[in-house]
Amino acid sequence: MRMSSAPPAAKLAKPNGSAVPVKDALLGNVGDVTDKEAQEAIEVIDQVQCEIDKLNEEASEEILKVEQKYNKLRQPHFKRRSELIAKIPNFWLTVFVNHPQLSALLDEEDEEALQHLKKVEVQEFEDIKSGYKINFYFDTAANSFFENDVLSKEFHLNENGEPSCKSTSIKWKAGKNLCEEAKQDNGSSDKQAKKRAHKQPSLFFSWFNETTESSVDDFGEVIKDDIWPNPLQYYLAQDGEEDDDEDDEDGAHDDEEDDDDDEVDDDEDGEDDDEDDQ
C-alpha cells in the first residue's frame, strides 16, 4: 500500500542535543558534528555496506547459474508432459477457463477458437533475466478462425532494464477477426456478421497486438509463473468443483429428508395426544 507521505529522514544526534540528517553526514556535510568516533563509525559502516553489496551481486550471479542449470534439467520433463497433454482433448482450453484471472478475458468465441489449441510452451532465454517467449500451437486443419499454426509473444529486458516485446501477426480468415469490433452492414445477410454485431474485440487475442507496458504484462506473467509450472491443477479444478457441488446437493437432500421425518414424527405425536384426550 502506498503511503501518503515519506517517513522523516533519520538524524544523528549532536553533542548539544540537536541533530543532523544521516544523508548529510554520508555526503561529508557533517556541519557541526564533532564526535570523531561517530564520524569514523559512519565511514566504516559505508565500507562494510560496500562489501555486503558486493556479496549480494555475487549471490545473484550464483542464483542465476542454479536457475539456468535446473531450467535445462526440467526441459525433458516438460517435453514428456506436453506429449501426454496432447492426448487430452481441450486440455489448455479447460485450464484457461478454470483459471480465475484468465477466464475473465475469454468470451464464447475465444473459447471456440481455443478449442484448436494443441500445445502451450514457455521458453526462458539462456540469460533468464533477459526475458522469455510463450508459444501457442494450433491445429490449422480444423481452425476456422486464422491460418497461423503458431502464435508467439516475446518479452525482453535490455542491459538497462528497459522492457520491450514482440508477437506474431495473426492471419485472420475472412469474417473471423476477433480483434475487430463487429460492424454490421444493414444489407448484409452474413450470419457471422450478425452474430458479432456490436461485440467488443477479444481481450485474449488482442493481447498479441499489445506492445506497451510490457514490463507489467500480467497475462504473460500468469502463464509463465502460475500456469506453466503446473497446468494440471487448473485442469482438475473443474472436477473438484463438481464434486463439491454434488456434496452440497447431497447435504441439502439429506436435510430435506430429516425435515420430512421430523414432520411425520410431530404428526404422530399429535395423533397420540388426541387419542389420550379421548
- In the structure grid, which three cell numbers stand for residue 77, read together? 520433463
Question: What are the pLDDT tens digits along the chain (278 aa)?
Answer: 444 444 454 454 554 555 555 555 555 554 555 588 898 999 999 999 999 999 999 998 899 899 889 999 999 999 999 999 999 999 999 999 999 999 998 999 999 999 999 999 999 887 767 889 999 999 999 999 999 999 999 998 888 878 888 999 999 999 999 998 765 555 544 555 444 444 789 999 999 888 765 444 788 999 999 999 999 999 999 654 554 555 555 555 555 555 555 554 555 555 555 555 54
pTM (predicted TM-score): 0.67
| Residue partners of 218: CB distance under 8 A and separation at least 6 | 101
Rounded to 5 degrees, what are φ and ψ at 183?
-125, 120
pLDDT of 37: 87
Q: What are phi and psi of 187, to 5 degrees?
A: -95, 5
Pair 19, 38: CB distance under 8 Å: no
Asked if residues 170 and 148 have their Cβ atoms less than 8 Å apart, the reply is yes
* pLDDT at site 2: 41
* Torsion angle, alpha carbons of 15, 20, 26, 27, to 10: -120
According to DSSP, residue 172 is labeled B
Query: 184: Cβ–Cβ under 8 A, 6 or more apart, which residues?
Result: 193, 194, 197, 198
pLDDT of residue 95: 97
**Which among 157, 127, 124 is positioned nearest to 64, based on CA atoms?**
127
